[in-house]
Amino acid sequence: MRFYLTILLCLTLSSAFAKEITSVSELPVDARPASTNLKSLLSPVGLVELPSIDVKQLNEKALSDKAGTGPYRFAEPVEDKSLWQNKVAWQVVGDTAVMKIKFVSNGVSLNIGLTNVFLPKGAKLFFYTPDGKQVAAFDDSDNKSHGQLWSPVFEEKELILEVNTPAQMQKYTTFNIKQVSQGFRSVKATSLKSGDCNINVVCFAGDAWQQEASSVARIVISGSGLCTGTLVNNVLEDETPYFLSANHCGLSETIAPTLVFYWNFEASQCNMTTDQADGSLNQFQTGSTFRAAHQASDLALVQLDTTPDAGFNVFYSGWSNDPAAPTSAVAIHHPNGDEKRISFENDALTITNYSSDTTVTNGTHLRVGAWDLGTTEGGSSGSAIWNANRHIVGTLHGGAASCSAPNAPDWYGRLAVQWDGGGTAATQLSAWLDPNATSAVSVDGLGACTRPTIDLTVSNSAPALGSSVTFSASASGGSGAGYTYRWDLNGDGAVDATGTTAEFTYNFFYRDNIYVSVSDGSGCVETASSAITVTEPATEIFTENGNIPLNWNQPSGSAAEWLVVSNEAFEGSVSLRAGNVSDNQISSIQTTYEFTEASGNFIAFAAKTSSEEGFDFLTFSIDGVQQLSLSGISDWNTYYFEVTPGTHTLRWSYEKDESVSEGSDTAWIDAVTGITLEPGTSTGGSGGSSGGGSGGGSISIWLLTLLLFRRFVKFPIKEK
């Protein structure tokens, strides 16, 4: 039974959607924030004055953090939604709806993280400074399967978030402000101060390593920390943008969407002082999907949401999983988040475990005894180390090396260990870099190909439920011949059509992007996308008469019935909400339905959760096999599951763990399509406890001891 899950689709988009910071005046007039042309017609902007931060104290605290785990911290997140939730207001002027909010801080920088983002066709989103000299612009092509959008860092005390959308699409334009981060130390070139012994990658010593250098990026993590990572090639050499970094930087399934990647942040000349530094942070892209992590070897691998822009001239570095220790090594990194530097070790590395000087054959790390040229620092974490054959053999975990300790060692997680990792796809490199299990030992680096250009047109980007939409695409450029087209029209990652045109009937609520991938004669692939918003019909779909549908019931084991509510709805005016349950209880609803078509059977619905993330879940199962699991604070999203012919039991459950409640402590479903819904006679809601409480719970003594130990005990080995 194959299923399709709209928001968990991971499809790497084309370079056309990577971003570059520019000024408002450089944007085409029709691509600028609408408020710049409607100033006299708009009410005053919503103003959020963020809590003052103690810059000096936070700097001192961050310096002490270097002895612990995690990235190089530069900003303090603010997640108090009460500061801004009443300031987010829409204004309609003519056929345009405008939302504009300004954040003010006493810090040195600002950046914003958004969740539950969906921009319909014609909608635009901007992060920009009040003077208009810096702006990052986004549109519907930037919709992500994970629904998140994190801004680059703006070294200003004021930052504006503005969203423009066609007035009739305002109700479908969604976003939540998750956090705003205030910088307590600068991360721009003229402020960063890595050690004087570091070598600019543009210096003569780095001339032979310029290709590898263009695979290295500085990354911002959750709006508050910095690490380094590297774009890597794979056995298929298909330019899948896998990005290698360090587990201790905190990269995970939850954190991966927050990453912002900066390309080509480097000096233009070799010997430049900090005051002369001119490295640009304009070339960036945002978002990724977690692929693998392995704690023992400090592995972290993510896949970028977008292929880096062709203008960024990136390189996909090669690698080797040969277990032999390299006879020399080169590292390229961003020490203290600074412009790109290069370091050289001319002696053989040894195989050890982390922070150990003892050589062991099966060790998890490579030890650099002492750098001959350059060094590493905080912010270098996750950066790669290359052998003499220009193959990556490890990623930086930590060490004591610095300009003030030139003879101190560093340790790199061994790629030879990371290759098989913990034996599963989620803990190893091999499943991703060698998906066909060819037993490859090494792969050389790869330059990016010249991709074709795609002109995509859509007959109706806001069709009514049950309507058909026609899509067409025309390619040019690239190798100039032999174009092949593949369409994904329902967000499942499968090919729905081929050829230059395609047609699809949306008999379910779909609010996501469609994609067309074009491959030229040389195999170089480009992808274009566009948002589709299936609009609501005049009459309620679910539930038709305001009652739970006939033959929907509470199964055995459910502690509370689901109920019809009118304070939350995806379409129409009502939805189904889980019953109130206490800790370790479940509220379930199910129906059994016969799917009679030989093909094309499906079940689709919208869902929303407000729960303790990672602990209290909304699940959906077919015949007892779980197909979907959601938790945390999420807005409405749509889900589509293909079903085989026959009779199947469909069940939705809200499941709580043993303690703690967050949000509204519940879940909702709506807009159920794919099955016939007979009007029922009950609104549900009997049974169960009051629920919705705090959930209680206390921190155990051993956990408190561990937290205090990790907070106050210092170690000489630094995780960079």
- Kindly list the catalytic residues: 248, 298, 381
What is d(CA 512, CA 524) in angstroms, rounded to the nearest whole number?
26
What is d(CA 64, CA 46) in angstroms, rounded to the nearest whole number?
37
What is d(CA 652, CA 434) in angstroms, rounded to the nearest whole number?
37
Phi, psi of 254 (to 5 degrees): -75, -40
For the chain, the residue count is 720
- In the structure encoding, which two tokens stand for residue 22, read together? 């520019």
Please give the angle made by the CA atoms of 582, 586 and 587, to the nearest 5 degrees: 100
Residues 379/720, Cβ–Cβ less than 8 Å: yes
Reference 127, options 117, 319, 496, 393; nearest CA is 117
- For the residues of 6-28, what is the DSSP string, one character each? GGG----B-GGG-EE-B-GGGS-
Burial class of residue 590 (count of CB atoms within 10 Å of its CB; 0-12, 13-18, 19+): middle
Instruction: List the beta bridge partners of residue 301.
Output: 244, 292
What is d(CA 313, CA 606) in angstroms, rounded to the nearest whole number?
41
What is d(CA 220, CA 213) in angstroms, rounded to the nearest whole number?
18
- In the structure encoding, which two tokens stand for residue 54, read together? 């103690």
Coil, strand or helix at 519: strand
Phi, psi of 272 (to 5 degrees): -115, 135
Residues 383/333, Cβ–Cβ less than 8 Å: yes
- Strand 96-104 relative to strand 46-49, pairing: parallel
- For the residues of 73-87, what is the DSSP string, one character each? E-EEEE--GGGTTTT
> Would you put residue 551 in left (φ > 0), alpha (ψ -120 to 50) or beta?
left
Strand order, beta sheet including 511-519: 497-498, 484-488, 511-519, 525-533
Reference 666, options 535, 575, 590; nearest CA is 575
Please give the angle made by the CA atoms of 222, 292 and 119, to the nearest 5 degrees: 50
